Chain A
Amino acid sequence: MPVYEIIFTLILVGLVMTALAVVWFKDLISAAISLGACSLLLSLQFYLLRAPDVAIAEAAVGAALTTAIFIFAIRATDREEGYS
């Protein structure tokens, strides 16, 4: 098994794990950071599939700006999910 298929498999496993963790976390800041990790792994996968344009856009928008905007929005409301 060549090494790039192992890397692809690891990145896909990480993608599914972080995407499940976004739904599973009750703490919203943890969920936002997990969404950022999912975007970062997705941009790595784009780069390995040789689409560097999409990889740069995904890394800048998905991993940096969206996480910052989500955290600014969570600061204005409650940190925990659901009604207490």
Chain B
Amino acid sequence: MRRSVAALAFIIIFAFLILGMSQLRPFGEPENTEMDDYFLYDRDEGSQAHNQVNNVVTAILFDYRGLDTLGEATVLFSAVSGVVAVLRKVKRSQKEVHG
């Protein structure tokens, strides 16, 4: 029973993956090349005019949405703080009290 349910779920998920793959654009032919003209080459609002940056992804990450990058760096900092706080050296006398 469990095995057949797992097989059915596998077949359904795989069919959805194949279906989604068949809807893709052909390789090397993006759908919207005019978005390049809007984001990158526009002389008033493009990334090359605003920031002198060729890479639009980096321009968005570090300039337009820089505050989100600051939040991501803060998340990483608190992750490191948590790891250092959990894995610090334990005093031997405390363990003897507990054990």
Is A in direct contact with B (CB under 8 Å) within the complex?
Answer: yes
A16 x B57 contact (CB < 8 A): no
Which residue of the partner chain B has the closest CB to A23?
B6
Query: Is A81 part of the contact surface with B, judged by Cβ < 8 Å?
Result: no
- Determine the main DSSP class of A at the interface with B: helix
Query: Is A83 part of the contact surface with B, judged by Cβ < 8 Å?
Result: no
Using a Cβ–Cβ cut-off of 8 Å, how many residues does chain B contribute to the interface with A? Answer: 9
Q: Return the CB mask of B40-59 against A: 1 if under 8 Å, else 0.
A: 00000000000000000100
Known: A2-B27, A4-B27, A20-B10. A53 touches B17 (CB 8 A): no
Known: A16-B13, A53-B57. A9 touches B21 (CB 8 A): yes
For chain A, which range describes its interface: under 10, 10 to 19, 20 to 34, or 35 or more residues?
Answer: under 10
User: Which residues on A sit within 8 Å (CB–CB) of B39?
Assistant: none
Give chain A interface residues in 1-24, CB to chain B under 8 Å.
2, 4-5, 8-9, 12, 16, 20
Contact of A8 among B10, B13, B21 (CB under 8 A): B21
Cα of A8 to Cα of B24 in the assembled complex, Å: 11
Which residue of the partner chain A has the closest CB to B58?
A53
Cα of A8 to Cα of B14 in the assembled complex, Å: 13
List 10 additional A-B contacts (Cβ < 8 Å) besides A4-B27, A12-B17, A16-B17. Answer: A2-B26, A2-B27, A5-B21, A8-B21, A9-B18, A9-B21, A12-B21, A16-B10, A16-B13, A53-B57
Chain A residues in the interface with B (C-beta under 8 A): 2, 4-5, 8-9, 12, 16, 20, 53
Ordered by A's residue number, 11 sampled pairs between the chains whose C-beta atoms are within 8 Å are: A2-B26, A4-B27, A5-B21, A8-B21, A9-B18, A12-B14, A12-B17, A16-B10, A16-B17, A20-B10, A53-B57
